[in-house]
Amino acid sequence: MPFPKDFLWGAASAAAQVEGAWNIDGKAPSIWDVAGDHIKNGETCHDACDHYHHWKEDVALMKEMGLKSYRFSISWPRVIPEKGKVNEKGLAFYRNLIQELKANGIEPLVTLYHWDMPVWVDQEGGWKSPKIIELYLEYVKVVVDAFSDDVQYWMTFNEPQVFIMMSYVMGSFAPFRHDVLTFKNHLRHMLLAHGKAVRLIRQIAKTPPKIGLAMAATTYIPDGDTPEALADAMQKSFESRVGEGSNGLYGDPICLGRASKMLRRKLSAEDLKIISEPIDFIGVNVYQPSNPMINKEAYEKENHPKNCMDWYVDGRCLYWTIRQYWERYHIPVMVTENGMAAHDTVSPDGKVHDPERIDFLHQFLPGMKRAVEEGIPVLGYQHWSVMDNFEWCEGYGPRFGLIYVDYQTQKRILKDSAYEYAQIIQTNGESL
């Protein structure tokens, strides 16, 4: 079975990482705008790629690559700068962007929350307080009312594992807290907000919606192909507690209405009913397997390649993530992120040669093809990222884009990998 004709070959970004214009046209600050010294080299996300002013040119570049979809997020503080107030200028930016995408035949895939919580919501308690559920739903209602004529694909959250664990337990992501003892409450608030948002979107969307969320998938690649090895890998991927939190801790309540051991006392039967409101797809963000977290020595012995973030590059994890998510949840899968960072530079010929990223595409994407050939419903692939951008606390050092961005001049250049990806899209994956 080849890739379906309507397979969504795309690329992804997030508001705080690309938009800039942090205090323009009525936008209020997000928790990332005030991250201060937590960001490397004194950098900020205040200007980023200035996509807020370059959106038209950026959509033209997406068109040049032949993208069928673009996954981006809406900035909550741009739309709701203070409690109860809607910022029409903020909505106008997204309306223009969405209409430009549609006019170019590119499907908008909208993430409602990609970590940039308004500072005013944080001051109300952020994920620590149950109040955030209603505040989030009010925001979602404004966005869905405004754009559901044109938008069909919605993601309630991006990588909850990260914005709960890293932000409130490890304290390494904004708002940099260590609420270790109460983190299960935060997690419960997020899960309830997700379930209620799914129900709300389904009720009010003007076109039949397809709703999901993007998970930080940390997958264990089986140590062999015996049934025992496969079962052991599933257990490690969904029931152990490696990395940013296991897939099952978040995925089981949402997709199966079942709480993992850790949350059993936290979630009531009523909670689980709300949280497991049916979704249409499960998004997976795929970067590296969890094997090296469990068995680092084996990876080090092999001298396994790493990217400039020190992340292991192991192409097998795309196939295994898709397959394991499908086997556990039986919900169509969308690859909502997959990509790699490098220190790309402009060569004297004015081009950006990034052979590692081309290699990366050819290491990872055949696994997705295999999954499709095995009959697993995969809806699309969104490469991270459409353009170089603000990599959170790492600032602008690591470059993840298919499009190179010169942050001084805001000039864009399609990297070699962008042309390679365009080829793959043109053949609908047959060239893989």
- Please give the positions annotated as active site: 159, 337
Residue with Cβ nearer ligand NOJ (100 or 337): 337
> From CA 171, how far away is CA 70, in angstroms rounded?
31
Residue with Cβ nearer ligand NOJ (249 or 274): 249
Residue written as tokens 């046209």?
25
Residue written as tokens 């940039």?
116
Quote the distance between the C-alpha of residue 10 and its chain's center.
13
> From CA 149, how far away is CA 107, in angstroms rounded?
13
* Shortest distance (Å) from residue 33 CB to ligand NOJ: 16
Q: Which two tokens stand for residue 316?
A: 């097998």
Contacts of 148 (CB under 8 A, 6+ apart): 201, 204, 205, 206, 207, 209
78-110: b (≥16 Cβ within 10 Å) or e = bbbbeeeebbeebbebbeebbebbeeeebbbbb
Helix residue ranges, H only, 40-127: 51-65, 76-79, 88-103, 119-123
Footprint on this chain of ligand NOJ (rule: CB under 6 A):
14, 17, 158-159, 285, 337, 384, 391, 400
Look at the chain and count its residues: 432
Residue with Cβ nearer ligand NOJ (68 or 383): 383
Name the E strands within 171-264.
210-216
Residue written as tokens 């004194």?
42
* Shortest distance (Å) from residue 308 CB to ligand NOJ: 11
> From CA 202, how far away is CA 144, in angstroms rounded?
10
* Shortest distance (Å) from residue 214 CB to ligand NOJ: 7
* Shortest distance (Å) from residue 286 CB to ligand NOJ: 10
* Shortest distance (Å) from residue 430 CB to ligand NOJ: 28
Other residues' Cβ atoms within 10 Å of the Cβ of residue 34: 14
Residue with Cβ nearer ligand NOJ (108 or 257): 108
Task: Report which of 94, 199, 200 is spatially closest to residue 150, judged by C-alpha positions.
Answer: 94
* Shortest distance (Å) from residue 138 CB to ligand NOJ: 24
Residue with Cβ nearer ligand NOJ (17 or 291): 17
Residue 50 has phi, psi (to 5 degrees) of 45, 40
Residue with Cβ nearer ligand NOJ (31 or 142): 31
Residue type, 19: E
> From CA 86, how far away is CA 78, in angstroms rounded?
9
* Shortest distance (Å) from residue 14 CB to ligand NOJ: 5
Residue with Cβ nearer ligand NOJ (311 or 419): 311
